[in-house]
């Protein structure tokens, strides 16, 4: 007996084909009679035709068309034209089509039946074919039907194997793979090439609509994912809309959504997911509707939308019978658990998620687990433990070709382990053609999270500046990959760290303040503590100590004890360290719990730059914003040597005893040299721009320290001891 659900699905435009292998006789006839009665109770038209060996070409489809009110004489010698005419008639109204003895039909009729069977999933019809034995059509249809059935139960590997077998037997629809679900699931180069070749071969056969458009959309989506080109897949989506077929549109929406998995498309993806849910739900395409809900949940997390959790709860309720989608729910649940600071629980959930992914055959099961583990260990301050594992994952054959996030993770974890050369090597491999050459992908923003931290740790200002420029458009988004399996808080944090790296500390502080606020809103406890600690390091002074205290308390409460210990050392180091910040029109100097205001002197600007980067040498010429344009002419060699000897002696004495008399002599000597021109007209190397910058910086800093001493002598003494001037200047507390 045919299931009633077959007629309910067909009424919503999702038909099915059933193959009945029974010998002719009363039992088979009774089966068909019951099917016809059931169809009529559902309001379906019924046509029942038998095949004969001596029938004309395309029989029994002439009779089927006539029985459904179509033009019985419309079929001709062109199989493609015939197929389209039949599909047009079958799409008009719900119908049950029963074909007896398909195994004795002529070649033309058999091929036409195969084409119609390939499009049955977009028709309001139920087709039943009977035969006395097993036909190629029977076998292939059964493979595809079984594939769809096991896919609905979440058994991805089994469904893929069944469709692969059907594709090898030349069934055009099987070339679509898992219908409308995902792109780029064949990661091995040979497997992927075969999948693309099958799509092209199926299209070359000129299949009837809507199968032709379904194949076109799938091929466009695969290429769009590979090449990071969106135009072709969006054009294919519009082509799918024009077919008027709901399954074709639902598949196109799903594939376009997947092909646009990079952060600049977050809002577009959300609208595609919403439309997918609407179209698939109205058409009875339950699996695609649920897939749309899964994707919508991911998109909401990527946008930092407060409704994301509500959507995930709905997904959990609806996905309980669909392990393939339950896997993604479980992965997002791990993310939320990490975000709540429950690391041990998150680790257990990640193992359970891995098990689900392995059982259903999802190609990303192991990489999701690795990502969870990397996030947990890094937040705990134990990322260095996983450097070797990260190296292994970067060579995994299941990673997409254009996936760089694990290379970036390797660099970050190596940095955490103190392996700076290894970190630098990984960073340079990834950015060999410049950071902007790293393709925007589903994991690009988490890749950038690692890049910014490594650039900061290695003091690479060039990469930090480029990262800042690339990340700025995403400032209001959280650091969440498209699959929403981890969340590293606000992108403002990365902008703040990058700005600190290239020396814009006021800009950095503004970004970091916003990062703390956003992370609180996201309820991301670990990243809130982390952002507070980074802000504390940037601000220094009493405010920095207060921020450190809160960050340390919060970190200890959720098990980030290693990071809390590091932050405690940094906080204690602030006690004797000086910080300088700008509060226009004043400079605020903080030291040992006290703050003083100093007017806007040039030397204060130099001091602020040096104090913000303890231990980092900065050229005096860079501080004054000058450029070394070359040397001027000099005296003859003997005179030059004498002058140089005296200058060196004066400088050495001034460094130990900065008396006004010695400084006046040095200045007079330098003025005299500036007026003289030696033999040969060669440029001089002691009174050019670099020398003038050295002198100007030293004088400006000394005036600033003298001004500070008028209010707070101990702070002035600390600066005098810690600030080193010369051609290269630094602050070494």
In whole angstroms, what is the distance from residue 251 CA to residue 275 CA?
11
Q: Which of 133, 156, 182 is at the close of a domain?
A: 133
- 290 lies in some domain: no
pLDDT score recorded for residue 637: 61
Candidate ranges 42-46, 338-342, 365-369; pick with highest mean pLDDT: 338-342
In whole angstroms, what is the distance from residue 423 CA to residue 417 CA?
9
- Is the pLDDT reported for residue 209 higher than 90? no
Q: Domain range for residue 649? A: 639-674
- With contact defined as beta carbons under 8 Å apart, do 10 and 92 qualify? no
Residue 307: which pLDDT band, with cuts at 50, 70 and 90? very high
- 593 lies in some domain: yes
- Is the pLDDT reported for residue 261 higher than 50? yes
609 and 648 both lie in a single domain: no
Residue range 490-510: average pLDDT?
93
Report the chain's mean pLDDT, rounded to a whole number: 85
Q: b vs e for 356-380, b when ≥16 Cβ sit within 10 Å of the residue's Cβ?
A: bbebbbbbbbebbbbbbbbbbbbbb
Write out pLDDT tens, residues 621-677.
Answer: 888 886 655 444 445 566 766 776 787 777 778 777 777 787 778 777 776 666 554
Residue 524: which pLDDT band, with cuts at 50, 70 and 90? very high
* CATH classification of the domain holding 36: 3.40.50.300
* DSSP 8-state code for residue 20: E
- 44 lies in some domain: yes
- With contact defined as beta carbons under 8 Å apart, do 578 and 714 qualify? no
- Is the pLDDT reported for residue 340 higher than 90? yes
Q: Using a pLDDT cut of 70, give the percent of the chain over it.
A: 87
215-224, 286-295, 486-495: the lowest-pLDDT one: 215-224
In whole angstroms, what is the distance from residue 717 CA to residue 706 CA?
10
42 and 106 both lie in a single domain: yes
* Beta bridge pairs of residue 591: 594
pLDDT score recorded for residue 678: 42
Write out pLDDT tens, residues 545-602.
Answer: 899 999 999 999 999 999 999 999 888 777 667 888 888 788 999 887 788 999 989 9
- 168 lies in some domain: no
Q: Which of 133, 156, 179 is at the close of a domain?
A: 133
- Is the pLDDT reported for residue 207 higher than 90? no
Model confidence, pTM: 0.67
- Is the pLDDT reported for residue 703 higher than 50? yes
* CATH classification of the domain holding 524: 1.25.40.10
558 and 608 both lie in a single domain: no
- 204 lies in some domain: no
595 and 524 both lie in a single domain: no
- 257 lies in some domain: no
CB atoms within 10 A of CB 347: 17
411 and 490 both lie in a single domain: yes
- 374 lies in some domain: no
SS3 683: strand
431 and 497 both lie in a single domain: yes
584 and 653 both lie in a single domain: no
Residue range 1-24: average pLDDT?
79
- Is the pLDDT reported for residue 312 higher than 90? yes
- With contact defined as beta carbons under 8 Å apart, do 359 and 323 qualify? yes
664 and 701 both lie in a single domain: no
Q: b vs e for 658-676, b when ≥16 Cβ sit within 10 Å of the residue's Cβ?
A: eeeebbebbeebbeebeeb
Number of structural domains, the chain? 4
Q: Which of 116, 133, 150 is at the close of a domain?
A: 133
Write out pLDDT tens, residues 134-184.
Answer: 555 555 656 666 666 666 666 666 777 777 777 776 677 777 777 667 776
Output the DSSP codes for 362-419.
-TTHHHHHHHHHHHHHHHTT-GGGGHHHHHHHHT-TTS-TT--HHHHHHHHHHHHTT-
566 and 587 both lie in a single domain: no
Residue 186: which pLDDT band, with cuts at 50, 70 and 90? low
Joined tokens for residue 418: 């103190």
In whole angstroms, what is the distance from residue 605 CA to residue 644 CA?
31
- 658 lies in some domain: yes
* DSSP 8-state code for residue 575: S
In whole angstroms, what is the distance from residue 641 CA to residue 647 CA?
10
pLDDT score recorded for residue 635: 54
Residue 430: which pLDDT band, with cuts at 50, 70 and 90? confident
pLDDT score recorded for residue 636: 59
Write out pLDDT tens, residues 665-677.
Answer: 877 777 666 655 4
609 and 663 both lie in a single domain: no
pLDDT score recorded for residue 353: 96
76-90, 151-165, 232-246: the lowest-pLDDT one: 151-165
- With contact defined as beta carbons under 8 Å apart, do 185 and 199 qualify? no
Of 436, 522, 439, 505, which Cα lies nearest the Cα of 226? 439
Of 147, 137, 87, 145, which Cα lies nearest the Cα of 116? 87
CB atoms within 10 A of CB 327: 26
Residue range 532-543: average pLDDT?
89
Q: Is 43 exposed, middle or buried (0-12, 13-18, 19+ CB in 10 A)?
A: exposed
In whole angstroms, what is the distance from residue 165 CA to residue 204 CA?
20
Residue range 699-706: average pLDDT?
94
Q: Which residue has the higher pLDDT, 171 or 454?
A: 454
pLDDT score recorded for residue 455: 94
Residue 503: which pLDDT band, with cuts at 50, 70 and 90? confident
Of 181, 173, 174, which Cα lies nearest the Cα of 156? 181
Pairing verdict, β 125-131 and 16-21? parallel
668 and 553 both lie in a single domain: no
37 and 52 both lie in a single domain: yes
- Is the pLDDT reported for residue 266 higher than 50? yes
Joined tokens for residue 411: 């660099």
User: Distances in Å between the alpha carbon of 235 and those of 92, 256, 261?
Assistant: 27, 10, 17
In whole angstroms, what is the distance from residue 522 CA to residue 527 CA?
10
The distance from CA 681 to its chain's CA centroid, rounded to whole angstroms, is: 60
């Amino acid at each position: 007996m045919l299931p009633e659900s077959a007629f309910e699905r067909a009424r919503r435009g999702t038909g099915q084909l059933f193959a009945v292998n029974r010998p002719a006789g009363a039992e088979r006839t009774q089966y068909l009679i019951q099917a016809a009665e059931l169809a009529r109770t559902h309001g379906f038209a019924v046509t029942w035709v038998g095949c004969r060996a001596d029938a004309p070409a395309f029989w029994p489809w002439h009779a089927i068309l006539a029985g459904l009110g179509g033009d019985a004489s419309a079929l001709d010698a062109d199989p493609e034209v015939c197929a389209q005419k039949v599909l047009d008639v079958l799409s008009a109204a719900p119908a049950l089509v029963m074909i007896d003895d398909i195994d004795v039909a002529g070649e033309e009729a058999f091929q036409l039946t195969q084409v119609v069977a390939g499009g049955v999933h977009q028709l309001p019809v139920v087709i039943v074919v009977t035969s006395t034995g097993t036909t190629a059509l029977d076998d292939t249809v059964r493979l595809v039907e079984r594939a769809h059935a096991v896919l609905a139960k979440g058994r991805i590997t089994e469904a893929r194997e069944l469709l692969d077998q059907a594709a090898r037997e030349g069934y055009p629809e099987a070339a679509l793979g898992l219908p409308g679900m995902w792109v780029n699931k064949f990661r091995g180069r040979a497997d992927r090439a075969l999948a693309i070749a099958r799509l092209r071969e199926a299209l070359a056969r000129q299949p009837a609509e809507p199968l032709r458009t379904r194949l076109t959309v799938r091929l466009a989506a695969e290429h769009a994912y590979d090449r990071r080109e969106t135009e072709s897949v969006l054009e294919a989506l519009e082509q799918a809309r024009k077919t008027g077929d709901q399954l074709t549109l639902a598949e196109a929406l799903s594939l376009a959504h997947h092909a646009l998995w990079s952060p600049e498309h977050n809002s577009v993806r959300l609208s595609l997911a919403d439309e997918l849910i609407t179209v698939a739900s109205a058409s009875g395409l339950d699996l695609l509707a649920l897939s749309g809900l899964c994707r919508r949940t991911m998109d909401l997390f990527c946008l930092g939308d407060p409704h994301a959790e509500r959507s995930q709860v709905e997904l959990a309720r609806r996905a309980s019978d669909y392990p393939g989608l339950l896997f993604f729910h479980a992965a997002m649940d791990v993310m939320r658990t990490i975000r709540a600071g429950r690391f041990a629980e998150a680790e257990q959930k990640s193992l359970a998620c891995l098990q689900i992914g392995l059982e259903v055959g999802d190609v990303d099961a192991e990489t999701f687990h690795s990502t969870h583990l990397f996030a947990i260990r890094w937040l705990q301050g134990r990322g260095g433990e996983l450097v070797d594992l990260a190296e292994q994952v970067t060579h995994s054959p299941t990673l997409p070709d254009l996936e760089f996030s694990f290379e970036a993770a390797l660099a970050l974890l190596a940095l955490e382990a103190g392996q700076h050369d290894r970190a630098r090597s990984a960073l340079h491999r990834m950015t060999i053609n410049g950071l902007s050459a790293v393709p925007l992908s589903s994991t690009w923003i988490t890749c950038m999270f690692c890049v910014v931290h490594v650039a900061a740790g290695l003091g690479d200002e060039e990469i930090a500046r480029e990262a800042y420029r690339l990340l700025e458009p995403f400032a209001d988004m959280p650091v969440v990959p498209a699959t929403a399996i981890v969340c590293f808080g606000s992108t403002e944090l990365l902008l703040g760290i990058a700005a600190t790296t290239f020396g814009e500390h006021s800009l950095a502080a503004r970004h970091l303040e916003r990062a703390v606020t956003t992370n609180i809103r996201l309820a991301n406890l670990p990243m809130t503590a982390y952002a507070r600690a980074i802000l504390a390091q940037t601000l220094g002074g009493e405010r920095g100590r207060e921020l450190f205290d809160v960050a340390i308390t919060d970190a200890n409460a959720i098990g980030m004890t290693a990071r809390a210990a590091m932050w405690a050392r940094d906080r204690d180091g602030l006690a004797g360290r000086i910080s300088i910040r700008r509060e226009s029109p004043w400079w605020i100097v903080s030291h040992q719990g006290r703050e003083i205001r100093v007017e806007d002197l040039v030397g204060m600007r130099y001091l602020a730059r040096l104090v913000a980067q303890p231990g980092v040498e900065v050229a005096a010429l860079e501080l004054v914003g000058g450029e070394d344009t070359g040397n001027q002419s000099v005296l003859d060699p003997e005179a030059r040597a004498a002058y140089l000897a005296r200058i060196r002696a004066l400088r050495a004495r001034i460094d130990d005893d900065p008396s006004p008399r010695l400084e006046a002599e040095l200045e007079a000597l330098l003025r005299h040299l500036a007026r003289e021109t030696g033999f040969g007209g060669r440029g001089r190397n002691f009174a050019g721009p670099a020398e003038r910058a050295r002198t100007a910086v030293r004088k400006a800093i000394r005036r600033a320290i003298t001004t500070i001493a008028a209010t707070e002598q101990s702070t002035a003494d600390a600066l005098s001891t810690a600030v080193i001037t010369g051609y290269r200047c630094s602050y070494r507390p």
